Structure 1
Amino acid sequence: MKFASYSAAGLAFYGAATDDGMIALSPDLPQWPTLLDVVRAGGLDQLIVTAESRSVTHTDVQYDMVLPNARRILCVGVNFPDRNAEYKDGSEQPKYMSLFPRFASGFTGHNRPLIRPPESHMLDYEGEVAIVIGKGGRRIAQADAYDHIAALTICNEGTIRDWVRHAKFNVTQGKNWDNSGAIGPWLVPFRDPAQLDDARITTRVNGDVRQDDVLSRMMHPIRREIEYISTFMTLEPGDIIVTGTPTGSGARLDPPQFLKPGDVVEVEVTGIGILRNTIEDEQP
């Protein structure tokens, strides 16, 4: 089952996404005002039970970022071997992973536009799997890491490329433009290691495949990401880890090909679905 945050008739809801429309669940579960509250309470199983006894309530909806009030979003950079080679700096596989924060305000939802700002037209795509922590913990062992995942979703970790080089040691400026990326369309509860171990990420721009790889080739697998991150910070339910993008971003093409208004970007992940966004310029 798939659970989304969405708007309909000017009101915000969360519910179960079906082929026929949305089953609104938030009105039946006032103890959990948002989908983030559901995750923090370990309530995804209750959503499944509730949805099974309800029918479609909305067919005309606007998807929101799946956890629009997420407090912490941490991204893993340069996590595929070909991606490391793209930098052409002769470096070997890094011993430790690169990490940077993103904020919920930088993400929009499925079928909504990514916004290209007037300050730079170097808006790029990065298709990734995102995991949502369901059980908190500190110094989590790799063998136990998957027990701490509540759900999976998809991220287009949109980046303003020239702004990631505005300072010497960080990329935060280029990674947090309002509505420059997307997370969604929904959460898929995590039940089986194969959901991650066998997953493939494919990113298409206007139907042209730009990124295509499997999670099993990650330099720092998701179990290791959870272990490493939980070494220095206590992971909490509702935290999102964006796990890394394959080679093929627009900045690395020859010549570079950045996103422009009218483009359609699709990020597809096995077993989760397709996150689709258009591109628009920011309006004054």
Structure 2
Amino acid sequence: MRFSTYTTDGETFYGAITDAGAICLSPLFPEWPTLYDAVAANGLDTLSAAAEGRPVTHASFSYEMVLPNAPRILCVGVNFPDRNAEYKDGSAQPEYMSLFPRFASGFTGHDRPLVRPPENHTLDYEGEVAIVIGKKGRRIRAEDAYDHIAALTLCNEGTIRDWVRHAKFNVTQGKNWDRSGALGPWLVPFRNASQLDEARIITRVNGEVRQDDYLKRMMFPVREEIAYISTFMTLMPGDIIVTGTPTGAGARFDPPRYLKPGDVVEIEVDGIGVLRNGVEDEQ
């Protein structure tokens, strides 16, 4: 089962996504006005049961950022061995993971354009798997971490590269331009470890493979990410962790290959799907 937030005829709903269209579920659950509320209430199984046997209600719609009101999104940076080498600074694998926040306003939905701002044209792509927390926890043991995941989705963690260099110790301003990235198309409920442990992530730009790697090669696996983050903050249902991108982002080519209007970026993971976005200049 797949669940998404979508818009049709000027109204926003959430529901189950099938090959034929969307099964609208939000009117059935007024206690959960958004998909985020359903996740926070551990309601994905309830949504699955409600969708069974129901007909498609919307054959035409536009995807929104999958959890547009998610209050906390944390991203793990430089989390593949080859990514660390890309920096060419001679540094060994770090002892601790790099983290930075992103805000929901920086993301758009599937099949919507990433927006390149007029202030700077170094818009880059980063294909990643994102996990959505479904069970509250603090100081979670790594061996228990998967018990706290509700769902998986995909992320294009779009970045304005020049703006991550505006300060010595943070990248926040380069990571939070409005609609510079995407999250979606949908949530896939997390059922077993193989969904992450065997996941292969591929990023294509205009059909050309730019990133291709396996999550099991991450320097800080998802179990460790959940354990480490939950050491200093209580993870809550609906929190999103964007787990890290492989080598091959546009900035690491010589010369760099940044995104431009008309480009199409696709991020694919078997068992989750494809997140696709075009690129346009801010109007």
Do both share a fold (TM > 0.5)?
A: yes
Q: Does 1:212 align with 2:183?
A: no
Aligned partners of 1:242 and 1:185: how far apart in 2?
15
Q: Which residue of 1 aligns with 2:181?
A: 181
In structure 2, the residue matched to 1:109 is 109
What is the count of residue pairs matched by the alignment?
283
**1:203 — aligned with what?**
203
**Post-superposition shift, 1:27?**
1.0
Structure 1, unmatched stretches of 5+, are none
Q: Within 5 Å, which residues of 2 pair with 1:1-284?
A: 1-283=1-283
**Alpha-carbon separation, structure 1, partners of 2:156 and 2:200:** 14
Q: Distance in 1 between matches of 2:152 and 2:55?
A: 24
Cα deviation for residue 95 of structure 1 reads: 0.6
Q: Distance in 2 between matches of 1:119 and 1:136?
A: 40
Deviation at 1:25, TM superposition (A): 0.4
SS of 2:268's equivalent?
strand
> Whole-Å Cα distance in 1 between the matches of residues 173 and 29 of structure 2?
38
Map Cα deviations across residues 67-106 of structure 1 (whole Å, 9 max, x no partner): 0000000000000000000000000000100000000000
Partners of 1:87 and 1:269 in 2: how far apart?
Answer: 26
- Cα RMSD (Å) of the superposition? 0.4
Report the secondary structure of 1:223's partner residue: helix
Alignment partners' CA distance in 1, 2:65 and 2:224:
26
**Alignment-mate amino acid for residue 62 of structure 2:** Q
Q: Alpha-carbon deviation of 1:29?
A: 1.2
Q: Secondary structure at the match of 1:163?
A: helix
In structure 2, C-alpha distance between the alignment counterparts of 1:55 and 1:31, rounded to whole Å: 22
CA distance in 2 between partners of 1:148 and 1:241 (Å): 12
Query: Which letter maps to 2:222?
Result: I
Q: Tell me, in whole angstroms, the C-alpha distance in 1 between the residues paired with 2:34 and 2:6.
A: 10
Task: Please give the alpha-carbon distance, in whole angstroms, between the structure 2 residues aligned to 1:9 and 1:57.
Answer: 13
Q: How far 1:7 moved relative to its partner?
A: 0.3
AA matched with 1:24: C
Paired residue type of 1:135: K
Stretches (4+) displaced over 3 A: none
What amino acid sits opposite 1:72 in the alignment?
R
How far did residue 53 of structure 1 move?
2.8
Matches of 1:256 and 1:152, distance apart in 2: 30
1:118-158 deviations in Å (ceiling 9; x for gaps): 00000000000000000011000001000000000000000
For residues 136 and 116 of structure 1, the distance between their equivalents in structure 2, rounded to whole angstroms, comes to: 36
CA distance in 1: counterparts of 2:60 and 2:10, whole angstroms: 11
SS in 2 for 1:195: helix
Tell me how far apart the structure 2 counterparts of residues 112 and 163 of structure 1 sit (CA, whole Å). Answer: 23
TM-score w.r.t. length of structure 2? 1.00
**Partner Cα distance (2:169, 2:215) in 1:** 27
Structure 2 Cα separation of the partners of residues 221 and 25 of structure 1: 34
Distance (Å, rounded) in 2 between the aligned partners of 1:8 and 1:169 = 42
Q: Which runs of 5+ in 2 are unaligned?
A: none
Separation in 2 of the partners of 1:269 and 1:85? Answer: 24
Cα offset, 1:28, TM superposition: 1.1
